[in-house]
Amino acid sequence: MSLEKPSSPIPIIIPLLIGVIAVSFSSIFIKWSSAPASIQGMYRLLFTVILMLPFGVRRISEFRRITPKNWLLLGLSGFFLALHFLLWMGSLKYTTVASSTIILALEPVFIWCGAYFLFKERISTIAKFGMFIAVVGAGLIGWGDIGISSTNLYGDLLSFMGTIAVAIHMLIGQKLLSQVSPYVYNLSVFSVAVVVFAIYNISLGVSFINYAGREWGIFLLLAIVPTLFGHMLFNWLLQYISATRVSMSILGEPVGASILAFILLHEKLSIMQISGGVLAIAGMILFMKVTRSDNKARVKENL
């Protein structure tokens, strides 16, 4: 039986749109930084945790009610989030924004497969067709430069493994957010990920402090824009819609990121990439519309 979701207090499209725009800036900030990916990821999440702490004073009792099993799941979710950032942010050192984000667009495929086996979550044939169109369209965006060299291939592989990691993180989150609040979930998972990054950096002897002021500014931007207004919003949305639907909306990231990369990084867009962007958006809209209609129909059947 699939997990029942409460109704969102605001139209779902609003936080989805804000989240997609916010995460689209992530790859730009990462490209602007010369710091190691593990340092970018650690400070990105550390600054996010610091910004969140003042709002948690009244929620201490919620942490005390977390069961040992859920603490374990929170730890696993944080570990896979750190692994995702390490791999995906690292991929941008070796390949283009379009290539890296397009592989990340395979996330809903992995999540849907996981949701099917874990939560028995099913979607209609038309919804699957929308998913197919979106993934194919997203694939066209990066087709021109995926795998053109061994360096790009290595970056593509890192992005692919990072996508699997974030799919696992999202599926664990879907289960946990039916039992803990979004704030508790985010603060716990982000904190675990910071610790994972810190251990990783210490083990490799990576410096924690020898970075220019510009780098610290980028770390802060990564915390505020794609994390607070991106990942936190997506985690919040898991209360109201499935991980599959959230991940499908993230297909807008390759489109937004590619446009931003063209403007800010001078990475050129081909006709194929533009066409792919149109297809990705069309597929995403079809998937969202069909799944929303299917959910309403199921609710009526249960009344």
Please give the mean pLDDT across all residues of the chain.
83
Of the pLDDT bands very low, low, confident and very high (cuts 50, 70, 90), residue 2 is very low
- Domain contains 18: no
65-96 confidence digits (pLDDT tens): 899 999 999 999 999 999 999 999 999 988 88
Higher pLDDT, 296 or 205: 205
As for how many domains the chain has, the answer is: 1
> Could you tell me which residue, 76 or 138, shows the higher pLDDT?
76
Q: Is 17 part of any domain? A: no
Q: Which domain holds residue 230?
A: 28-302
Tell me if 197 sits within 8 A of 86, measured CB to CB: yes
Note the pLDDT of residue 142: 65
Q: Is the pLDDT confidence value at 288 over 90?
A: no
Render 143-202 in DSSP notation, one character per residue.
Answer: TTTTTSSHHHHHHHHHHHHHHHHHHHHHHHHHHHTTTS-HHHHHHHHHHHHHHHHHHHHH
Task: Express each pLDDT in 139-192 by its tens digit.
Answer: 777 666 665 666 777 888 898 899 899 989 988 988 898 888 888 998 999 999
Q: Is residue 22 part of a domain?
A: no
User: Distance (Å, rounded) from C-alpha 287 to C-alpha 128?
Assistant: 7
Query: Is the predicted pLDDT of residue 3 greater than 50, yes or no?
Result: no
Q: What is the pLDDT confidence band of residue 283, given thresholds at 50, 70 and 90?
A: confident
Q: Is residue 103 part of a domain?
A: yes
Q: How confident is the model at residue 299 (pLDDT cuts 50, 70, 90)?
A: very low
CA distance 40 to 125: 40
Question: Which of left, alpha, beta for 266 (phi over 0: left; psi -120 to 50: alpha)?
Answer: left
Q: Helices (DSSP H) in 6-149: which residue ranges?
A: 13-24, 26-32, 37-52, 60-64, 68-91, 97-104, 107-119, 125-142
222-247 per-position pLDDT tens digit:
999 998 898 888 878 877 877 767 77
173 assigned to some structural domain: yes
Domain-located, residue 275: yes
* Range ranked top by mean pLDDT from 11-20, 54-63, 87-96: 87-96
| 34 has a pLDDT exceeding 60 | yes
The pLDDT of residue 4: 58
Helix crossing, 68-91 with 150-176: angle to 10°? 160
Which two structure tokens, joined as six digits, stand for 105?
């667009």
In a domain, 6, yes or no: no
What pLDDT score does 1 carry? 39
In a domain, 83, yes or no: yes
